[in-house]
Amino acid sequence: MGTPARRGIGTRSTAVVVSVAVLTLVSLSLLAWTKLAAPPAVAAGPAATMGGLRVEVSKTEWAPMNMVMDGRGGFVMPDDMMPGAPESGRVRLGVGVTLVNTRSGTETFDLPGEFTITGGLETEAHPLAADTIGELSRLGPGSAMQGTLYFDLTVPADPAQPLPPLYLQWSRDGDAVRIPVQLPGGEMPEHHGH
C-alpha cells in the first residue's frame, strides 16, 4: 500500500488510460461507420481500375422486352411467355463494358457479386439481371473481353420525366467505385404486365 497521494496518482493514471482507449475506440468506430455509410467515390470518367482489373463503360441500350415483330406491326407478348423479363413498370438497360486484366497473372471476377446499378428513381442498388458474358470468370494476363450487363430499372410515371443519373457500381476486394452511365438516346421501351 502506498500513501494516499500515490494511490490518487495511480487512480488518475488509470482513468486517463481508460479515457484515451475509449476515445480511440469511438474514433475508429466513427471512421469505419463513415466509410461504410458513405457512397463509393464516383469515377472521373467512363472507366475505373481496381484489384488488377480495369472496367470501361461504353454504350448503353434499352432492351425491348415484350414486342414480337410479325411483319404486320407486332404485338405485345404476355409476361408469362417471357420468364426472366422485367416486372411491369420496369425496363431493362444494357450497359456495354470492357474488362481488362492489368496484371501479369490471371485475374478472377464475379459479375453478379461485383456489379450493381445505382441512381435513377431507386434508393437501393439493383443487381445484375442478365449479361452476355456467361460463365467466364477469369482473364489471362493482359487480356480483355467485351460484354453487356443488363439491369432492370423503374420507369418514371410520367414518360416526359427525365431519369436521374445512373451509376454502374463496381465493388472489388473491399473497395467500390461508381462509374457514370450515360442513358441511350430515344425513349424508354414500355413494358406492360398482362
pLDDT at 26 exceeding the cut of 60: no
Q: In sequence order, what are the residues at sequence separation of 6 or more whose Cβ sits closer than 8 angstroms to the Cβ of residue 192?
A: 66, 76, 88
Which pLDDT belongs to residue 18?
65
Q: 23-37, 73-87, 155-169: which has the highest mean pLDDT?
A: 155-169
Q: For residue 131, report the phi and psi dihedrals to the nearest 5 degrees.
A: -160, 165
Question: How far are the Cα atoms of 7, 18, 68 from residue 1, in angstroms, in the given order?
Answer: 8, 22, 92
pTM of the model: 0.70
Q: Model confidence at 187, in pLDDT bands (50, 70, 90)?
A: low
Lowest mean pLDDT among 85-89, 96-100, 114-118, 140-144: 85-89
Report the range out of 22-26, 66-70, 110-114 with the highest average pLDDT: 110-114
- By the 8 A CB rule, do 160 and 36 touch? no
The domain defined by 45-181 folds into Immunoglobulin-like (2.60.40)
Q: Are 69 and 194 in contact (CB under 8 A)?
A: no
DSSP annotation of 13 reads H
Distance CA 117, CA 112 (A): 11
**146-176: pLDDT as tens digits:** 999 999 988 777 877 788 899 999 999 999 9
Average pLDDT estimate for 61-84: 58
| Mean pLDDT along residues 65-81 | 52
CA angle centred on 126, ends 60 and 103, rounded to 5°? 65
Q: Which of 3-17, 115-129, 178-192 has the lowest mean pLDDT?
A: 3-17
Query: In this structure, are strands 130-131 and 144-154 parallel, antiparallel, or unpaired?
Result: antiparallel
User: Domain spans of the chain?
Assistant: 1-38, 45-181
